[in-house]
Each structure stands twice: as C-alpha cells, then as structure tokens.
Amino acid sequence: MKKLPVIMGLFVLLFSLYSYAMDQQKIANANVAPPVIEGKSWLLIDHDSGATLSAGDPDMQIEPASLTKLMTAYIVFREIAEGRQSLDDMVFVSEKAWRMEGSRMFIKVNTKVKMEDLIKGMIIQSGNDATVALAEHVAGTEESFVGMMNKVAAELGMKGTNFANSTGMPAEGHLTTATDLAILTRSLINQYPQYYKYYSVKEFTWNNIKQGNRNLLLYRDPSVDGVKTGHTESAGYCLIGSAQRDDMRLIAVVTGTDSKLIRADMVQNLLNYGFRNYKTQEVYPAGKLIQNVDVYKTASNTVAVESVEKISLTVPRRGGAEITQTVTIPDYVVAPVERGQELGNIEFSVSGSSLGKYPLTAVTSIPEGGIIDQIIGTVMLWWVETF
C-alpha cells in the first residue's frame, strides 16, 4: 500500500510532462516562419483584430513617397462624409497644382475639375497635380492642408509620422513608419468603405491620356482590392496591399524595395502567408453584455458592462490551442456612474500569449442616490470592506 502514493505521483508527473510536450508541439506547429522580405521595413496585420502577423523594423522612420496620398484621401473622404465637400464639387486648378512634377493626372491650369475625377486621378494615377488641387480646395492652401494632415495623424496615433506636403515628394522631415501606414490604412477602410472602392480601379483616362493603376497585385490576385504604391529615388519602391478572402482581410505594408516587381512580390508573399497560416474569428459583437458590477449609494443594485466595439481575434490555423478569457472588473463601484465609463477590461490569450486587452464600459448611467440610498450604501460599504 505504501507504494501506491509513489506510483500515483509518477503517473501524475508523466502525465504533466506529456501535456507539456503536447502544448509545446502545438505552439511549434502554430509558429510557421514568415517569408523573407526584401525591403527597409514591413508589417502584416489583420484588419479586424489589428493583430501583427509579421514585422520587420515597422517603427523605423522612412520616406513614404506617394503613400502620403493615403492621408490626403482620408481627409478628403472625411470632408465629404461630414458634408463639407461633395463628389460633384468643381475644383479650381491653380498654377501650383498644374506645375507639379512627378506622376500627374494632366489637368489644365485655371480650369475646374469635378472632385470625384480628381480623387480618381490621385488614387489610380497617383497624380501629384490632382492631389495638390484637392488639398488647396479643402484647406485653401497646401500648407494649411499639411497642418490638417499632421493633426489627423496625431488623432489616429501615428506617433512616428510628420508630413511636409500632400503628395509625398521628397522633403526634409517628411517621414512615417510602416506601423503608422497600417494604422492609417485600417482607419480609412473602416471609416470610409464607400470611398475605398476607388483603390481597386485598374485604370483611369483624363485629357485623353489613359493610365493604369501601378498596383500590380490588382492584376494578378482577385482578392486584392488596394491600396497604394509609392516611389521616389530616395524612398525606393513601396506598396501597401490589402486583400479579403472569405471573411478575413489583411493589410501588408512594404517599404524601400528595389523595383516595382519586388514590392508586389513581397506584399503578395506576406498576404499569402497570413491567409494560409492564420484565421480571424469574431468573439463578441459590439455592445455584448459581459457581466454586472455592484453599485452602491444609489437605488440601482448593479450596472452591466459591455464590449465597446466588436472583438475579433486572430489565431494560428495550426496547433488547436484554446482561447481563454479573463475578465477584470472591480468588486463594486460607487455612484454616480456615467454611460460609457470604463469599468474594467477583458483579456484573451492562447498558450499563455496575450491576444489583446479590451475595455469594458458601463451600459447605462447610474445617478447618485438620495439620502436613504447614501446611508444604506455607506453601511454596506463598511460591511463589505470590514468583513
């Protein structure tokens, strides 16, 4: 009989070692090596979850070249969505816009062009002339528009970015990062999907000059629907690509490659890697009630907390490790409570690695109670904190 505890102990030890080995194998199976990327910096993220799937120096400041036009478009789209501009507005072409060097739409000086046509010229043809015309129309001058660009960059959390012009022409201090470009692209697709459609158009003709979209992936991969190319001698060849396959959308940023073909191949490799090795699933919809929190010094006993936005998680397709969640909320709160007030968070993890932490906010406002509620609440708090 004395041997039984020893045998049971050995059994438990062997089972633990086996479980540990299986967990490690799951992790190993999940960690498929990402592709080797030829470029200064790169980043692959999932659009819905924001999860980083591959990265190389994503916070290194680089020259964005015409990727800059994403911010110009973002601001123009915001102006239209909020009613200050219209796709049908006629935009005056100044001499400054007409004289712009580099890629051009070939608009004529002292004429008026419909805003939607200028948007197409900026996005599809990467026209510097169209871009400046739009900037001047929105803000009065390009310099004022650049101020708007930097303000919006700060609002979006683009910490490594400073714009000096609307087009991406080389200029001192005109810098961004792959991380910031991914933030901007994700925000543009999220907030202005009705205008994102312009990024999938393959050609546009203006002034009897037909120009094709420089994003080679639009011609080779039907799941790709954007986003933007960029090139200057100092910046190299850059590309932001986005694709959707089934219900999963990925965004890939590659900067500083040596050719048009290389930048397309690198983005294609990142997208293929992401789709083949990861999956994204919605865990909770926006407004999902998670738990109740006790409330004192008010007539209400509890307040429900919810996930503010839809929560999506990206996990490896291989490995089969389960997602676990941890809800962190206080034992109680004291009224008043404001609707939308953050009262805790929910964190998800797989195999011990965090997949993200998301805020939980109050569903309703809870006003401070009357004198009786205050007295009862004070007594209850004393009891809870004492015992």
Q: What is the largest CA-CA distance in the chain?
A: 101
For tokens 């970015």, the residue is 161
Q: Could you write out the DSSP letters of every residue in 179-195?
A: HHHHHHHHHHHHH-HHH
Helix (H, G, I), strand (E, B) or coil at 304: strand
Of the residues 54, 66, 242, 312, only one is catalytic, namely: 66
Q: What ranges in 114-235 are assigned the alpha helix state H?
A: 115-123, 128-139, 142-156, 178-191, 193-196, 217-220
Residue 336 — φ and ψ, nearest 5°? -85, 155
Q: Is residue 288 flagged as an active site residue?
A: no
Nearest CA among 313, 275, 282 for reference residue 54 = 275
Q: What ranges in 53-177 are assigned the alpha helix state H?
A: 69-81, 95-98, 115-123, 128-139, 142-156
Element (H, E) at 53: strand 52-56
Of the residues 69, 120, 228, 297, only one is catalytic, namely: 69
Nearest CA among 25, 14, 18, 42 for reference residue 274 = 42
- Per-residue burial over 347-356, b = 16 or more CB atoms within 10 Å of its CB, e = otherwise: ebbbbeeebb
Of the residues 41, 49, 103, 126, only one is catalytic, namely: 126
In the chain, the N- to C-terminal Cα span, in Å, equals 45
Say which residues have a Cβ less than 8 Å from residue 295's Cβ, sequence separation at least 6. Answer: 301, 302, 303, 332, 333, 334, 335, 337, 366
Contact 209, 106 (CB under 8 A): yes
Nearest CA among 75, 244, 91, 66 for reference residue 170 = 66
Q: Is residue 259 flagged as an active site residue?
A: no
Question: d(Cα 125, Cα 120) in Å, to the nearest integer?
Answer: 7
Residue 233 CB neighbours (<10 A): 8
What is the sign, positive or negative, of the torsion defined by CA atoms of 129, 132, 134, 137? negative
Q: Is residue 69 flagged as an active site residue?
A: yes
Helix (H, G, I), strand (E, B) or coil at 219: helix
In angstroms, how far is CA 312 from the centroid of its own chain? 13
Provide the annotated active-site residues: 66, 69, 126
